[in-house]
A = this chain, B = another copy of it.
Amino acid sequence: MPMSKNPSKTPIVGIVMGSNSDWDTMQHAAQMLEQFGITHEAKVLSAHRMPDDMFQYAEQASKRGLQAIIAGAGGAAHLPGMLASKTIVPVYGVPVASKYLRGEDSLYSIVQMPKGIPVATFAIGEAGAANAALHVIANLALHDAALATQLEAFRAQQTDAARSMNLPGY
């Protein structure tokens, strides 16, 4: 399974979102994949405004070689669940914060899927986007020793960064 930062390579992860206004949140998924050298693509794919594109994307996901789809949406967030209904490629959902209900609606719309069609859901906002990518990476790392080592190193650096945090006066 060749991985590369080169965007011309075939993507193995797709990042999709309901609108380009979701990019502020979803770029945190892209950056994480970039950091780990996972070839990926990112595009707007609105469940409600581009339903046929969405279905086509899901239908082709497997044969295009995607091993994960990270989908972010806000409000009545149907994108992750509908993609999941159309493919057996694992779907990871990111609740984007909505204007008035701060993502509580997005979270419920994504996580409360009925038995039979799973969507792996993460935290509201940028933390969720980054973590969706990290979960995908952890799955890829099960079959890629170098990536596993890289993930272990990332974790260790993260621990070191937390350990070195100082509080003023202490």
Bound Cα distance from A159 to B158, whole angstroms: 31
Complex CA–CA separation, A106 to B77 (angstroms)? 12
What chain B residues lie within 8 Å of A125 (beta carbons)?
Answer: 99-100
Cross-chain contact B108 with A120 (CB below 8 angstroms): no
Taking the closest CB of chain B, its distance from the CB of A27, in whole angstroms, is: 8
The residues of B that contact A77 with a CB separation of less than 8 Å are: 109
Contact in complex: B75, A114 (CB < 8 Å) = yes
Task: Check A146 for interface membership: any CB of B closer than 8 A.
Answer: no
- On whether the beta carbons of A111 and B118 are closer than 8 Å, the reply is no
Give the interface size class of chain A. Answer: 35 or more
Query: Known contacts A43-B167, A76-B108, A105-B108: does B113 contact A123 (CB below 8 Å)?
Result: yes
Question: How near does chain B come to A140, taking the closest CB pair, in angstroms?
Answer: 9
Question: A117 near B131 (CB under 8 angstroms)?
Answer: yes
Complex contacts, A52 vs chain B, CB 8 Å:
55
Given A85-B47, A170-B41, A158 and B116 touching (CB < 8 A)?
A: yes
Q: Which of B23, B75, B99, B162 contacts A113 (CB 8 A)?
A: B75
A104 to chain B, nearest CB (A): 7
Chain B residues within an 8 Å CB radius of A161: 49
Q: List 20 A-B contacts (CB under 8 A).
A: A20-B167, A41-B170, A44-B163, A49-B116, A67-B142, A75-B123, A76-B111, A76-B112, A76-B123, A89-B142, A97-B100, A99-B125, A102-B102, A105-B112, A108-B109, A109-B109, A115-B126, A118-B131, A118-B138, A121-B122
